[in-house]
Amino acid sequence: MPEGDTIHRAAETLHRALAGRTVTRFVSVFPQLTRIDDSTPLTGRTVTRVGARGKHLLIWFSGDLVLRTHMRMHGSWHIYRPGERWQRPGHEMRIVIETDAFHAIGFTIPVAEFSTAAALERDSPAGKLGPDPLNDAFDPDEAVRRLRARGDMEAADALLDQTAIAGLGNVYKSEVLFAARINPFTAVSALTDAQLRSMVDIAARFLRANVPERQTPSAGAGNGITTYRGMRRTTGRADPSARLWVYGREGEPCRRCGTPISRRRQGPHARSTYWCPRCQPDDRSA
- Whether 98 is a known active-site residue: answer no
Give the tens place of pLDDT for each residue, 217-246: 443 334 444 444 557 889 988 888 899 999
pLDDT over threshold 90, residue 142: yes
Q: What is the dihedral of CA 276, 231, 12, 83, to 10 degrees?
A: -150
**Higher-confidence position of 140 and 269:** 140
Q: Which CATH class is domain 140-210+221-285?
A: mainly alpha
- Whether 252 is a known active-site residue: answer no
Q: Is CATH 3.20.190.10 the right assignment for the domain spanning 4-128? A: yes
Exposure on the CB side of residue 256, measured as CA atoms within 13 A: 15
What pLDDT was estimated at residue 254?
Answer: 98
What pLDDT was estimated at residue 264?
Answer: 96
Residue of 55, 98, 131, 217 marked catalytic: 55
What pLDDT was estimated at residue 225?
Answer: 40
The pTM assigned to this predicted structure is 0.86
Give the tens place of pLDDT for each residue, 80-112: 999 999 999 999 999 999 999 999 999 999 999
With CA atoms as reference, report the closest residue to 170 among 242, 260, 247. 247
- Whether 128 is a known active-site residue: answer no
Per domain, the residue ranges of the chain are: 4-128, 140-210+221-285
pLDDT over threshold 90, residue 17: yes
H helical segments located in the chain: 4-18, 31-39, 117-123, 140-148, 155-160, 170-180, 193-209
Residue of 2, 131, 133, 184 marked catalytic: 2
